[in-house]
Each structure stands twice: as structure tokens, then as C-alpha cells.
Amino acid sequence: MSGLAEVFAKAKADNRAALVGYLPAGYPSRQGCIDALLAMVAGGVDVVEIGLPYSDPLMDGPTIQAAVEASLLGGTTTADVLATVRAVAASGAPTLVMTYWNPVERYGVDAFAADLAEAGGAGVITPDLTPDEAGPWLAAATAAGIDPVFLVAPSSTAERIDRVARVTRGFVYAASTMGVTGARSTVSGLAESLVHRTRLATDLPISVGLGVSTAEQAAEVGAYADGVIVGSAFVRLLLDAATPEAGVAAVAGLARELSVGVRAGRPAVV
């Protein structure tokens, strides 16, 4: 059983959803990002997503784009991303990289998979890579022992969901909307239907991302999903913080609130 599988199994045994937290590597600095991610884990984040900064982040909204741009201007490299993975994975939290496909292809598919595994990484989320074009990546991930995570969306057909489910390991990432990332006042009503449709195709855990920013929303999503993914809300706290230390404290506080939320979404087992 992989580290991801263990975390989701434990969350299920505890009658709750797992909390997945995202930050882009290198923001507000290399060490600042590591400090913030470790604070999130201490606050209750179960699984960590580390974004690999990319110059054309089509799926990301303005909040994450602003942090990614600052990270790139600061000189963040793929090697820095792997170093961040190493530091955070040492905490014991399964740590994934969220990346567009071009940086992996430029680094070298086999080399990226092997180097990520060596750094302690658990898997990779590839939002712009379709299963139909993922043959080399699937082979490299299998050889390295890491989990390839693919996405389904409200527009996904039953055939597409089935195809994603057959090649994904760890968990299926269910994008709650057709838009870009970003905190929202409400979570799309399409998310619950998408989770139910995906369950028809797989026994893998299903995690919902795009839009969750509060404990109440985490409880709402955690009532039907196996994982709740939060990214922009954490990034926004770092962007708005007066100092790096204040940012670390703020993301730790949000992690604690969200951790309570994912535990509140389901009725108690008696």
C-alpha cells in the first residue's frame, strides 16, 4: 500500500475526508515555502501538493498565477522543487508534485520520475496530460514506484472517466468546475454529481479541488468526497501576509480550521 493509499484509508477509518493542501514551490522563497508547508502539515493537512512553477499555467487563476510568477522571478528551478519535496516528505506527509507536462518533458520523463521518487515524492498530478498521451509517463511512474494522478471534470463523459480511472493511482482528482483555480464563495454544485459518476468507475479515493476555502466548504465537500483539496486560499494568505512569519502563522491557522471542517462533514458513527 502506497503512502497515499494509507492516508486515505486512515481518513476513511476515521469517518472523514483527507485534507490536501497546495502551495507553489519557491514562494514566498524556497525556505519560506518549506516552512509554510510544514506548518500546514502540523495544522492538519494530510497530503501535500507542491506546484512546479511554470510560465503558462493555463489551469491556474490569478492568485496562484501571482505566486508562481514571483517564484519564477526568484529563480525557482525544478531542482528546487525536488528539494522542497524532500524537505516536506521528511515530515511523513505524502507529498506530490502538481505540474504541467512541458517541464517534465524538458527535464526527462524517466529522470523526473526517478528523481522525484529518490526525493521521497509520492506521486505527480498532471492537469494537462491526458491518459491517451501518457504512455511514457505511466511507464516511468510505474518503474519509479510513484502514483500518477489524473483529472476528471464536470464535462467528462463516462468513457473518459473510465479511462482516467484505469490509469490513475493514489486518488482521482475531481475538478469541481470548468474554470481556473481560485477560492469561491460556494463550491460548484457539479462536484457532488461528478464524484458519484466517478465512483461508478473506480474504488480509488476521489478528491475534489477548485474552490474550497473555508471550514464550512470543507465540511460540505468532505460529506461526499474522500479528499478535499485547498490551494488558492493558502496561497492568498501568503500573498497578503505582511511578513513571511505572518504568512506561516496564517496558513497554519487555516489548516487547523479546514482540518476541523473535514471532520465535521459526516454524521458520527455510533
Rounded Cα distance between 114 and 142, Å, is: 10
Rounded Cα distance between 45 and 40, Å, is: 6
Rounded Cα distance between 91 and 255, Å, is: 16
Q: Are 37 and 50 in contact (CB under 8 A)?
A: yes
Rounded Cα distance between 98 and 202, Å, is: 22
Q: What is the DSSP letter of 202?
A: -
Rounded Cα distance between 209 and 98, Å, is: 12
Q: Are 255 and 21 in contact (CB under 8 A)?
A: yes
Task: Give the residue numbers marked as catalytic.
Answer: 49, 60
